[in-house]
Structure 1
Amino acid sequence: MSSNVVSNEFLTGLEKSLGYIRGFAASQVIYSFLQEGIFSLLEDGLDINAIAQKKGFAPNLLRTVFEYLAVEGILEKSTSENGQVNFQISNYGKNISTYYQGWFNLLIGGYSPIFANIPNIMSQGTNYISRNGKWVGVGACQISQNDVFPLANKMMEEIKPNVKTIVDYGCGSALGLCEFCNQNPNIKAIGVEPDEGAYQAGLNLVAAKNLQERITLVNSAALDHEINEVPDFILFWFVLQEIYGQNGEAALIEFIKNIGVNFPDSYLHVIEVDYAIDNEEVMKSPLGLGFYNPYFLLHPFTDQKLVSDQKWTEIFTKSGFEIIKKEAVDPKVDPTGLVIGYVLKYAESGV
């Protein structure tokens, strides 16, 4: 092999390897600045000295980070006539806070302990270290504003207009329930959230939006919570995967079936991810590489079980439910088609 070929192969591999390092560094910096509210301060027009003073940061170190973010296109750097260097947030930087921070909160804030400890978890077991449930719940709800919430609104409206009562298992930060209540003044809801941090975040959000009279939150695991009133819809968004992983298929089927027996007039609205790891076209797409591949990786390490759309259909049938509506999220938001919504109705059959 000629030295020229070796050189080309080396550079190609190096560029790919450094891409991983770039993403690691950028994701950590962006997440930390979201947590500190730096992007919001820039949007408010504060300059570097005012931000350093407000946050108690060393100005020279803050400038170093700003220089880094300017190269990444998150900030814009300019020099005034008197030679003073200024930084403003770019349009993309503004969009990180507005549209994209959910992915950082979920994967960096919520699951970075898992990614950093994969060898230890493989040798010591999944109890070795936990995800950060607060940021998993907050991030998942923020992401869902783009895909799941619009899909759920559409599907529920088509099945049963003028919904009055909702029970949401695994409600996270309760952002979805708040949005439902804001859009429909007749809805009352109960949110069930097992993680203490996400539950507290939900209480804070509900209080901030003055929805305490319409939204009740319960800090409980799904299997431990009993529904007292007949709801129009019972929501399971990315929750059945966790019950499946931690309790097994038989327990999951029994749980779903019992809901059908006890609440035959209620609809179940389920959102799950089609585990399409062998679909190379999807997995090699930007969303596949950037989100679904790490998403698929981390779930077994947190005792969650992802399965195919075909397998979910089988489980619903065994539980005695019929799929009366099925739809993927808007392809303009997620063209992979992997996030699927199901509306289920108890059919008094199954196993």
Structure 2
Amino acid sequence: MDEGFELRLIEALQPVRGFALAQGIYHLFSSGLYERIADGPQSVQEVAAALELDAARTSGFLRYLANENYVTLRGDTVALTEKGRGLGPYRPWYELLVGGYAETFQQVTHVLRGKGYASRDGRLVGIGSCGISAYDALPLVRELMSDLPATPDSIVDLGCGDGTFLADLVGDSGTVTGIGVDPYAPEESSAAGLDFVRSGATDYVRNTVASDAEPDSSGLCLAAFLLQEILEQEGRSAVVELVRAALRHSGHLAVVEVDHRPADPQVMQHGLGLAYYNPYYLLHVLTEQRLETDQFWQDLFREAGASVVSRRVVDPRVDSTGLEVGYLLSRQGGAAQ
């Protein structure tokens, strides 16, 4: 065996290290350990007892994270390192990519063989997506709403996930009511003026627009990362009809989507391009979601009889790739199509 083998082995195993570490960080959050030890150094025995965890296994898990410098473990006392504390704001990315899509990555070969779509944990995908949105899509939608002629009376969030995105928007003003629609929506809301419906977006919009209720011309419909789902699962015509129906129901529709540019070296060699968008693009090849280009969406909006009132991208201090795009749509000529 040549002397360079061990060095090459170490390099070759770095993706395995990353795989294990991503799982470890996700479970540091999901187990409740992160919040528990964020308050300061504590006994592993006490922490394990409080969280109903096996103490010996918890100690071994924390030793693993200590070797990666996310916690310190001195005797029976555990504490977060500065590096560990720095993880807090980025929890949603782990909830989405590791929690929501862990099973997806296990099915790559199966899907490559044409055996249908890969599965995912829809509940965790919704939680992670809403958490990430607090940094990118939520401020983006607020900017789009600033382009409205007036503050909407109501917001219908189609594909609301765990509802936190909509709750933040409704909470911005005490006079706006909200309805969140999602198969994984909360069963009930504890906030006044906020209701949830467990339903698919197309069924909800179709049934609502077909009802006798008067359209809310001063309302806003929201479709954040939703059209990509409908495009793959129900086809282009279903997306066109959803846009038309949403605009018949409300005066405006806000859409957030990700521009599909996986072969563009300008963005794919960007740090966030490799760290986030490269796996994000891969996941969308495997699951029932279809990303499309900015031009594709703008052409589809015209086909649906919608005008783009404004187009915005995420604050470059959060994401400077320009890949996440928001559109504020209205009906062409102010009439239903």
Normalising by structure 1, we get a TM-score of 0.85
Corresponding position: 1:225 with 2:204 = yes
Distance in 1 between the 2:69 and 2:52 partners? 25
Structure 1: stretches of 5+ with no match in the other structure: none
Distance in 2 between the 1:214 and 1:91 partners? 41
Residues 145-294 of structure 1 mapped to structure 2, 5 A cutoff: 145-194=134-183, 198-199=184-185, 202-203=186-187, 206-207=189-190, 211=191, 213-226=192-205, 227=208, 228=213, 229-230=215-216, 232-260=219-247, 262-263=248-249, 266-294=251-279
| Aligned match of 1:132 | 121
Structure 2: stretches of 5+ with no match in the other structure: none
Partner AA of 1:89 in structure 2: L
Query: Structure 1's 246 and 267: CA in aligned 2 closer, same or farther, altered over 3 A?
Result: same
Distance in 2 between the 1:250 and 1:86 partners? 59
Distance in 2 between the 1:289 and 1:57 partners? 36
Corresponding position: 1:48 with 2:44 = yes
Q: CA deviation at 1:216?
A: 1.2
Query: Structure 1's 164 and 42: CA in aligned 2 closer, same or farther, altered over 3 A?
Result: same
**Match of 2:257, SS?**
strand
| Aligned match of 1:309 | 294
- Check whether the contact 2:158–2:182 (CA below 8 A) recurs between aligned residues: yes
Query: Structure 1's 14 and 335: CA in aligned 2 closer, same or farther, altered over 3 A?
Result: farther
Distance in 1 between the 2:285 and 2:263 partners? 17
Q: CA deviation at 1:73?
A: 2.6
Distance in 2 between the 1:232 and 1:16 partners? 55
- Check whether the contact 2:187–2:198 (CA below 8 A) recurs between aligned residues: no
Corresponding position: 1:19 with 2:4 = no
- Check whether the contact 2:94–2:128 (CA below 8 A) recurs between aligned residues: yes
| Aligned match of 1:72 | 68
Q: Percent identity?
A: 31
Q: CA deviation at 1:300?
A: 2.9
Partner AA of 2:229 in structure 1: E
| Aligned match of 2:133 | 144
Q: Deviations over 1:114-141 (max 9, x none)?
A: 11011123335335x5211100101000
Q: Deviations over 1:195-249 (max 9, x none)?
A: xxx32xx346x32xxx1x3111111111101334415211010000011111121
Query: Structure 1's 88 and 224: CA in aligned 2 closer, same or farther, altered over 3 A?
Result: same
**Match of 1:172, SS?**
coil
Distance in 2 between the 1:43 and 1:69 partners? 14
Query: Structure 1's 30 and 325: CA in aligned 2 closer, same or farther, altered over 3 A?
Result: same
Q: Deviations over 1:295-330 (max 9, x none)?
A: 111113222111111111111111111111111101
- Check whether the contact 1:321–1:350 (CA below 8 A) recurs between aligned residues: no
Distance in 1 between the 2:11 and 2:242 partners? 46
Distance in 1 between the 2:298 and 2:110 partners? 35
Partner AA of 2:196 in structure 1: L
How many residue pairs align between the two structures?
Answer: 326
Q: Deviations over 1:52-104 (max 9, x none)?
A: 22234443432332222123232134x5xxxx46321123423433x111111
**Match of 2:79, SS?**
strand
- Check whether the contact 1:162–1:186 (CA below 8 A) recurs between aligned residues: no
Distance in 2 between the 1:65 and 1:320 partners? 56
Partner AA of 2:301 in structure 1: F
- Check whether the contact 1:74–1:93 (CA below 8 A) recurs between aligned residues: yes
Distance in 2 between the 1:174 and 1:345 partners? 24
**Match of 1:254, SS?**
helix
Distance in 1 between the 2:290 and 2:114 partners? 19
Query: Structure 1's 319 and 88: CA in aligned 2 closer, same or farther, altered over 3 A?
Result: same
Q: CA deviation at 1:33?
A: 2.1
Whose helix proportion is higher, 1 or 2?
1
Query: Structure 1's 56 and 160: CA in aligned 2 closer, same or farther, altered over 3 A?
Result: same
| Alignment match of 1:87 (pick from 78, 84, 107) | 78
Partner AA of 2:270 in structure 1: S
**Match of 1:163, SS?**
coil
More divergent stretch after superposition (25-34 vs 48-57): 48-57
- Check whether the contact 1:241–1:306 (CA below 8 A) recurs between aligned residues: yes
Q: CA deviation at 1:287?
A: 1.4
- Check whether the contact 1:275–1:308 (CA below 8 A) recurs between aligned residues: yes
